[in-house]
Every structure is written in C-alpha cells, then in structure tokens.
Structure 1
C-alpha cells in the first residue's frame, strides 16, 4: 500500500470529506472511557466490536441498538441524554484537533478543494467545542448523520455531503477511522483513506484492509 502522501499526490480528487471523532480529533480514547462508564453502570461487557458498531450508528440509533441488544429497561432518548451530558462536559475543556489537521485543511482550501465534515456525533456535543474549535469556520459544510436520517452503516451521508460540495462522490476522498464507515463511503463511490486513531478500540489491521490507503499522522500530508 502506498503511503498516504504519495497516494493523495497521485489521486486527483475534487473534494474531501472528513469524519470527526478519532479521525481529526483526539476524542477516540474519550469515547472509549464514556462507553466504558456507560456499560459498567449497567453491567454490560464493552468490547471493541460493540464500540465500532455503536460509533457508526450515532447517538439516537446507537441508543436504540443498546436497548434492543441488551434488553435495557430504558428509553433511548434517556441514553442519548446521558451520552450527551458526559460528552459535552469533556469536549468543552479537553477535545482538540490532532496535530497537522488544521494545517492540512488550510492546505486543501488554498488549493481550491472544498472540504466538509460528515459526523455521527451530535450538533450539541460538537458545538460545545466553540470557541476553541470553530468547525463551521474550518469546513465549507458540516453534515450530521442524524440530520441525514441514516447512520454511517449506510452510504447516504457521503452521498449527501458530496452533493453539498457540488461534487460527484467518485471525485471525493473520505477520511475515516472505522470499518463500517469506510465500507459505506466506498459504497457511495468515494475513495477512502483509513486513519490511525487514538481509540484503543480501533482494529488498525481491519481499517487498513478496508481502506484504499492508510494514514498514520496528519503531519505527513503537509507540504
């Protein structure tokens, strides 16, 4: 497999789509901690496979999945509220972009390439990053899976994001850190870059196998 810098230099893409958690932000370990706390409160065994599945589903669908999977006597909306409360407390003070990300986004913009964020996270949680991280200033478009109506187990968010950038999915590069999202982006027709995350639940080998190329460090893409 070519290194990411060489791959991207040889691939003439017209737009770039980025995942947030784990991919461009140092939040993978934070979500692992949140999920562990959530499961320990309910006596559930938290596994990397479960973490990856729920991460792709997003808040609402992920909460409904947990209720069904573990027969929880809870309402999905209450689980969403718990996840949102835990996450916003941490995001407000701790979550930052990974080294090199902001410079790479600027590099793409200077090259005239439109960029978008496509995330399974919630607007409420990501808005808690303001003003430290101003996502609407960093990206041309910000799309949320919950607004699209389908999780990242489906290609819809990538199709919608490409359309928002006035670009065919076949001309888009997608940066993701989990296998279900990578597979969905490929179903949409996009080229995929798997990204090494700070998430202990990430199966690096499977992400490498699923993606067209793999990126360890964003600073490797800076010119």
Structure 2
C-alpha cells in the first residue's frame, strides 16, 4: 500500500471495541426516561451524530425536554463506561506502521464528542498518531452526509485516490463510497447482519487489524 498517503479512521466499532457501550447507554437512557426501546433502535442510530440521535429519540418517543438535555443525559452515561474501553486487536501495530510510512491519519466519528474520543485514544496510548479528531456532533451532521469525510480529507491534505477510510458501519460505508472514497470495511460483531453488504461495497475487507498487517505488512 505504498500509494496510501492518508487514512480516515472511524472510532467506535473500528478502532475501539466500544459498540456495546453505545447499545447499553442508549437503552439505559431511554429506560431511565420511562421508555421501552425498540428492538432496532441502535441500528437506526448507528450513523447519526449525537444531535441527530437526540432529535430522533425526541420525535420517536415524544421525550420531554430540549435536544441539549437529551444529549447531556446520553453523554453522562457514556463517560463513565468509556474509561474502560479498549482498542481492537492489532490496531496499535497498524497505526505504528502507517506512521512510520509517513501516512497522515485522523479520526472521524459520529457518536462521541471530541473530549470523550480524545480521552479514549489517550488511555490506549495511540492519541499521538492522529493529527485531528473530527466529530459529527461538533460539525453538525452524521455519516449519512459525506461532509464529514470531505472535511477530514481537507484536514489530512491528501487526495481521495491516496486516502483510505476504515469503517465498520454500513451507512457510513455507503456514504463514503458514494463520495468516491476507497473504503476498508472492518468487521464488528454489532454489525454482523450487514457483513455481506459491507464486504461487497468495500474495496478491502478485514475481520481484524491483524488481517491488514498480514496482507500489507
């Protein structure tokens, strides 16, 4: 992969083994508000920003209070759980090799704010590999919109032809591909029902980051 100059990494479910946190936090928050979550609630919210999730919850479940109140409630539940989140297997080695090859890297994530994302990466000793952390919540749109990927590309200073997007979510992959990005589909257990579609859409597909190291050194 000598032609790779930049990489845009998703965070939850891609770099971090953290999707269980979002599933539990969403369910716990809705239950705390006296609501029984729909079975597919987490799948529906997977590619949304926190603002979009809060708006969705408010509309779907007729929650009282403004959007910021809902966001604060979800974030409070997530913060405590994030202290123990770990990287997926093989991630440190891949990041180190990209860095040694002079590849620019950034994180583009839907669900977390910048502080939570930065803390998780710092706790796992990989924050230094990334030039920027971009969140949908701070930019104002989810991964159903290519603006996040385009903004990340601009931050990296690379062209699409030499930039990879590592993603585990089907909607995000569909968006990136529609915007002509090269995508590395990453397996995550919480997206197992979408794996056939993810594999067919992605330019590359890995079950773990160890696979990437074996294929491309």
Q: Could you say which TM-score interval applies, normalised by the shorter chain?
A: 0.7 to 0.9
**3-state SS of paired residue (1:205):** helix
CA distance in 2, matches of 1:16, 1:216: 18
Match of 1:37 in 2: 28
Q: Which runs of 5+ in 1 are unaligned?
A: 1-8
Residues 108-147 of structure 1, C-alpha deviation per residue, up to 9 Å, x if partnerless? Answer: 1111211111111212322443742355412122212223
1:51 correspondence with 2:51: no
Q: Residues 221 and 201 from structure 1, CA distance in 2 versus in 1: closer, same or farther, beyond 3 angstroms?
A: closer
Match of 1:113 in 2: 103
**3-state SS of paired residue (1:129):** helix
Match of 2:76 in 1: 85
Deviation at 1:203, TM superposition (A): 2.8
Q: Residues 169 and 197 from structure 1, CA distance in 2 versus in 1: closer, same or farther, beyond 3 angstroms?
A: same
- The farther-off stretch of 154-163 and 68-77 is 68-77
CA distance in 2, matches of 1:24, 1:189: 22
Paired residues of 2:9 and 2:108 also in contact (CA < 8 A): yes
- The farther-off stretch of 67-76 and 171-180 is 67-76
Match of 2:196 in 1: 205
**3-state SS of paired residue (1:193):** strand
Paired residues of 2:14 and 2:188 also in contact (CA < 8 A): yes
Q: Quote the RMSD (CA, aligned, Å).
A: 2.1
CA distance in 1, matches of 2:78, 2:114: 12
Deviation at 1:32, TM superposition (A): 1.4
Match of 2:212 in 1: 221
Q: How does 1:98-177 map to 2 (within 5 A)?
A: 98-120=88-110, 121-129=112-120, 131-134=122-125, 136-177=127-168
